[in-house]
Structure 1
Amino acid sequence: MSDRKDKNSLTGALARHYENLGQQTSHTNGIENISKSVEFDAPGDPEVLRIVESTLPHPDATEVVIEVATVGMNFADLLQRRGVYGLKPEATERLGLECAGRVVSVGADVTSFQEGDEVCALLPGGAYVQSRCPSTPP
C-alpha cells in the first residue's frame, strides 16, 4: 500500500471515528463521566482503529484537562499504527501528537491557564481523545 493511499485511508477512518464521537463534551453514564478515544490493539490498516470509552481524566496538580476539538495527524501516526515507528521511552502507545481545544479543568498548582482558555498542545502521544490531561510548564 502506498503512503499516500494509506494516509487517505487513515484520514477517512479517523474522520468516521470522530463523526461517531458526536459532541465533544463528555457525558454522564449514571455514575461517572466518560471520555472516548481512538485506539488500536495491533498494527495494521486503518480498520484496526476503534472507539474506546474510559473515565474522564482528572488533572494532577500540574495538569489541565483539555476538551479536544481537533487533532493533528502526521506521518509518525501512520508509522505507529502500522507498527514501524520507534517510540521514545516517555511516549504512550496511543496515537496523536498534537491537539487543540478548550481547558475544562485545571490542577491545583496551575497558574498559567484557567477554565475556558483555548489551547493547543504537543504531546508524547494520546491526542486522539475527547479529553486529555497534559502537564503545564512550570
Structure 2
Amino acid sequence: MTHMMVDFALEKRMLQAVKFLPVPKAPEIDVAACLVADNCITISWRMPEEDSRIDHFVLEYRKTNFDGLPRIKGEQHWEVVDYIKATQYTLSGLKFDTKYMNLRVQACNKAVAGEYSDPVTLETKAWRWLP
C-alpha cells in the first residue's frame, strides 16, 4: 500500500486571510428628533460611530399602555419593518389605541445583525382614555 501526503499550506493561508465583518454597534435613537402626529410616528437614529459597512436597519415597534422601558408581561409582540436604508423612518397608518409606543432599531451589515438600540417609549398624544 502506498502512503500519500497532502499539502494544505495554500488552503491554510487562504483561510487565515479571510476577513470577517464585525458586528455593528447598536444605533442610538434621537428622541428629540422623533415626531408623533396624525397617526404617524417618525423615528430618527444615528450610529455611535461612522460605519460604512451598514447595509440596512431593522425597526421594531409595539403598542403599550405603560410609560418607560418595555415590560415582559402583557405586552404585544414586536411589529417589524425590515431593510430600511436611511436613519429615519415614518410609520404611517397607525391606530393610536394605546397611550404609548415602544420602538427599537437594529443595524445590519451583509453578514450579521447587531444589538438592538435601547428601546424608547413615545407617547401617542392622539389617544384619549374615556372612563
| Same fold by TM-score greater than 0.5 | no
**TM-score (norm. length: structure 2):** 0.23
**TM-score (norm. length: structure 1):** 0.22
Larger RCO: 1 or 2 (CA < 8 Å, sep 6+): 2
The structure in which a higher percent of residues are strand is: 2
The structure in which a higher percent of residues are helix is: 1
Computing the radius of gyration from Cα coordinates, the structure with the larger value is 2
